[in-house]
């Protein structure tokens, strides 16, 4: 009985780990120039949250 409980607990733990995945990075294939241009366009259009995200991605590269 104890073995079954441990096995079920392990299965639940492993299933929980498999459902967490990072969203795909849409900027993955972008050049530095394109990334900067998109960030600048977002900033100029007032979309500050998106611009910050793009600038942070640019800085991390």
What are the structure tokens assigned to 34, written together?
């394109």
pTM value? Answer: 0.62
Instruction: State the Cα–Cα distance between residues 40 and 58, nearest whole angstrom.
Output: 11
Q: What is the pLDDT along the chain (61 residues), one digit of tens a residue?
A: 888 877 777 777 777 665 667 778 899 999 999 999 999 999 999 999 999 999 999 999 8
| Among candidate residues 33, 41, 37, 36, the one with its CA nearest the CA of residue 56 | 36
What are the structure tokens assigned to 50, written together?
């998106």
- What pLDDT is attached to residue 54? 97
């Amino acid at each position: 009985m104890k073995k079954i409980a441990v096995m079920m607990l392990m299965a639940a733990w492993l299933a929980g780990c498999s459902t967490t995945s990072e969203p795909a990075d849409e900027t993955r294939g972008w050049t530095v120039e394109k990334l900067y241009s998109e960030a600048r366009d977002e900033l100029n259009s007032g979309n500050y949250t998106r611009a910050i995200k793009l600038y942070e991605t640019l800085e991390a590269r």
